[in-house]
Amino acid sequence: MSNSSSARAILPEGWPQPRGYANGMVAEGRVLVTGGLVGWNAEGVFAEGFIGQLRQTFLNIRAVVEAGGGHVEDIVRLTWYVTDIPAYRASLKEIGPIYREAFGRHFPAMAVIGVSELVEPEALLEIEATAVIGG
C-alpha cells in the first residue's frame, strides 16, 4: 500500500500516547464519507458472529475507500455502532489482529458507541468512515 495521505495524528503535549486510535487527525484533500457499513458481503450475506462481522465490515470500509481513489492511510475517523458492548470488550484481544489485517498500523480518531439495535436486524455492528484523499 502506498501512503498518499497527508493525514497525521494529533497528540497534545503531555498527553499519553493512545493505543489503537488517535485523539485527533488533521489532513488536507478530498473528503470521502461512507455510510454506515455492516458485516455482509457483496451478496448481502452476513458473516457469522461479532468477529466475523467486524472483519467483513473492515474489508467493506477498505473497499469503499479504495474505490474512491484512497488508501486505508487516508482514513481519519471511524465511528462504530455496536449492539453488544460486553461482546466488544470481550473481543478486544481478537480485534487488534483483525484490524491490522485490514488497516495495518494506521489508527485514526475513533469512537465506539453502544446502541440497542441497527436497521439491519442481523447486524451486530455498523461503522462509518471518513477519509481525506490526496492533499
Q: How confident is the model at residue 1 (pLDDT cuts 50, 70, 90)?
A: very low
Tell me how many domains the chain contains: 1
In 1-135, at which residue ranges do the beta strands (DSSP E only) sit? 8-10, 24-26, 30-33, 75-82, 109-114, 125-133
pLDDT digits (tens, 9 = 90+) for 36-74: 999 999 999 999 999 999 999 999 999 999 999 999 999
Q: Which cell goes with 98?
A: 483483525
CA geometry: angle 96, 100, 102, nearest 5 deg: 125
Average pLDDT of the chain?
Answer: 93
Query: How far apart are alpha carbons 135 and 124 in whole angstroms?
Result: 35
Task: Name the pTM for this structure.
Answer: 0.89
**In-domain check, residue 3:** no
Domain containing 115: what range? 8-133
**In-domain check, residue 64:** yes
What is the four-CA torsion angle of 93, 50, 33, 7, rounded to 10 degrees? 10
Q: Which cell goes with 39?
A: 458485516
**In-domain check, residue 2:** no
Q: Report the run of H or E that residue 56 belongs to, with start and end.
A: helix 49-67
Q: CATH number of the domain that 55 lies in?
A: 3.30.1330.40
Residue type, 73: E
pLDDT digits (tens, 9 = 90+) for 70-101: 999 999 999 999 999 999 999 999 999 999 99
